[in-house]
Amino acid sequence: MPTIAVLDDDASTRDALAGMLRDLFPLVRVIAARVDDAAAVAERDAGTLVLIELAAVERARRWLPAGARVVALTREMGPDTLLRAEALDVAASVRAPATTRSLRAVLELMLGPDGARDPD
């Protein structure tokens, strides 16, 4: 079962994102944790897809396993920001605040068939 780790220091943001992801992808395990808990999350779920603010990627990167797929949330999507995300080896970026539409568009491709929504 695929796993998405939502790493954010703000509890309300973290819980809102986790709730949206659980609704969008009911076949995916969603973990919500503070950024400083990235090491514990990585230890439990090495293959995790990580959703995190771009500003926190650098801080969490040292705890995440090599090759972890990171999706960064960012308010700014200009060229400098996207170059910074690329330098931090971010797999994709989503404009914050994230919407169900933007999360689905990016994450559905990354999760593959195991992350597909329940058939209606």
State the CB neighbour count (10 A cutoff) for residue 21. 24
pTM reported for the whole predicted model: 0.89
Give the pLDDT of residue 114. Answer: 62
Assign 3-class secondary structure to the chain. CCEEEEECCCHHHHHHHHHHHHHHCCCCEEEEECHHHHHHHHHHCCCCEEEEEHHHHHHHHCCCCCCCEEEEEECCCCHHHHHHHHHCCCCEEEECCCCHHHHHHHHHHHHCHHHCCCCC
Tell me the C-alpha distance between 3 and 28, whole Å: 6
How, if at all, do strands 49-53 and 3-7 pair?
A: parallel
What are the pLDDT digits (tens) for 81-94? 999 999 999 999 99
Residues 88, 57 contacting (CB under 8 angstroms): yes
Segment 4-18, tens digit of pLDDT: 999 999 999 999 999
23-55 burial by CB neighbour count: b if 16+ within 10 A, else e?
A: ebbeebebbbbbbebbeebbeebeebbbbbbbe
pLDDT at 119: 46
Reported as a single tens digit per residue, the pLDDT across 41-66 is 888 776 679 999 999 998 888 888 77
Q: What is the pLDDT of residues 92-113, one digit of tens each?
A: 999 999 999 999 999 998 987 6
What kind of architecture, by CATH, is found in domain 3-113? 3-Layer(aba) Sandwich (3.40)
In the structure, what pLDDT confidence band is assigned to residue 21 with cuts at 50, 70 and 90? very high
pLDDT at 12: 97
